Copies of this chain bind each other. A is one copy, B any other.
């Protein structure tokens, strides 16, 4: 059995690889995924990973199928570096910046979208999020405001239509993992982390982070001291650490948050936590369907309507 498609949308991140075959009506005809993220592949392994993932997917119109890729496949250590666009810029320019790696399989014509960088004192980079932002703009053409993209490296970006303004990255998710598993705090996080104390710890940590984002280096140690002195259990400590980091991130970006609800693009669980912290300062976070967003972004990059 073969799947007939017009083109293929691919989100190639550090950890995972996802593909959607789009038919001539713009609908998803086939969906594939694999754990072969950029981080697990050498440069030479990318073409085979793509061929294997798309086994049995066939061009509806004959000729090679365009495979439009966003994400870390375009990083320097990825398949082929797709040079960054520089913010502020119009994300409608993404497609023009795509690079086309050599592909041994003649049935596939891959193109990798660029990331976006920012220079001049606030050096920063993104790869993949720019396509999600374009997707948000495609789904909500009138949106103008700040967008929050929680994750290992959270992004906060100003978006006006398809135009990206200033953005910044916070290493919140990575910091949580490092502190949980590698730091002295791990001694207080050894047990059932999802017990009933987690949500109280989360609120206490978020409050501390929101109120004093400048005190992170000091407040972190409270996780350990509270376990030693106040018999705080691992679930409470895990909640506190998570809340403290997210609260600090939101607190340090508070000046960017206006009256407008803040779209949240990321995993549903994480977006739920960010929405909870935003609510603590009277703001509204609106979790988005990330799959829908990235697909809309790839379609919009290719100039198709959503």
Tell me whether B169 and A218 are in contact (CB under 8 A): yes
Q: Report the copy number of this chain in the oligomer.
A: 2
Tell me whether A76 and B228 are in contact (CB under 8 A): yes
- Chain A binding surface SS class: helix
A42 within 8 A of B: no
CB interface residues, A 117-147, toward B, < 8 Å? 117-119, 122-125
A222 within 8 A of B: yes
In whole angstroms, what is the CA distance A123 to B224 when docked?
9
Tell me whether A248 and B123 are in contact (CB under 8 A): no
Tell me whether B221 and A170 are in contact (CB under 8 A): yes
In whole angstroms, what is the CA distance A143 to B172 when docked?
40
Closest to A152 in B: B184
A174 within 8 A of B: yes
Interface size of A by CB at 8 A reads 42
A289 within 8 A of B: no
Closest to A178 in B: B178
Q: Please, which residues of chain B bring their CB within 8 A of the CB of A183?
A: 171, 174-175, 178
A220 within 8 A of B: yes
A226 within 8 A of B: yes
Closest to A226 in B: B123
